[in-house]
Amino acid sequence: MKLVFPCEENHLKYELHRLCEMFVPEYDPSELNVRVGKGKYSYAALAFLDTKELVIYPAYHYRHPDDLKSTLLHEVGHFAYCDDPDHGPGFKMYYDLLSERQKEIDEEVVPSSYKDFLYARPVRANRYEYICSFCDEIFFRKKRVSLKCSKCHLEMDEKAIVS
Ligand SMILES: [Zn+2]
Ligand SMILES: [Zn+2]
């Protein structure tokens, strides 16, 4: 039997609306376009604020299906609560609000640690992210290294992600 994870737009939209109704009823997610991204991104999802697009990357969610709900709520925070692509003080307030509401909700969605809510697993386990500026290949490493892209043979750019 093949295990199928329903990473398709209708299911994601349904979950998005259901979770907003439960956790953020003051926000109507109808304005959002939910899209399934392509490529082997190490990210779980990305929020494009200007085009109101929420992109989910299936490669991540096939590996970590339990993270989908908190990922959707995380992205909602960027649109609904702080209108900020980063995780500033407004985003922390959003997390505190969700944690408070989680106490009254049986379905467990909001992680108990803010760090888990902020970062997808590869980022949590690693401190450095390396990106090829030519092909956008991404690697994660626990320690600082000097890396060349395996496809383009170019030196990859370092981005420290967790301080
Ligand atoms: Zn975010
Ligand atoms: Zn490359």
More confident residue, 64 or 126: 64
The closest of 59, 57, 92 to 71, measured between CA atoms, is 57
Helix (H) / strand (E) containing 35: strand 33-36
Length of the chain: 163
Q: Would you place residue 86 in the very low, low, confident or very high pLDDT band (cuts 50, 70, 90)?
A: confident
Q: Which ligand is nearest to the CA of 135?
A: 2
Q: Does residue 161 have a pLDDT over 90?
A: no
Going from the Cα of 82 to the center of ligand 1, the distance in angstroms, rounded, reads: 11
Q: Which ligand is nearest to the CA of 148?
A: 2
Q: Does residue 65 have a pLDDT over 70?
A: yes
Q: What is the mean pLDDT of residues 137-157?
A: 88
CATH 3.10.310.30 fits 9-118, yes or no: no
Q: What is the mean pLDDT of residues 146-156?
A: 92
Please tell me the distance from the alpha carbon of residue 1 to that of residue 5, in angstroms, as a whole number. 13
Going from the Cα of 103 to the center of ligand 2, the distance in angstroms, rounded, reads: 45
Please tell me the distance from the alpha carbon of residue 62 to that of residue 149, in angstroms, as a whole number. 25
Helix (H) / strand (E) containing 48: strand 45-48
Going from the Cα of 156 to the center of ligand 1, the distance in angstroms, rounded, reads: 23
Helix (H) / strand (E) containing 8: none
Going from the Cα of 148 to the center of ligand 2, the distance in angstroms, rounded, reads: 8
Going from the Cα of 2 to the center of ligand 1, the distance in angstroms, rounded, reads: 32
Q: Which ligand is nearest to the CA of 152?
A: 2
DSSP code, position 155: B
Query: 8-39, pLDDT tens digit by residue?
Result: 888 899 999 999 999 999 999 999 999 998 86
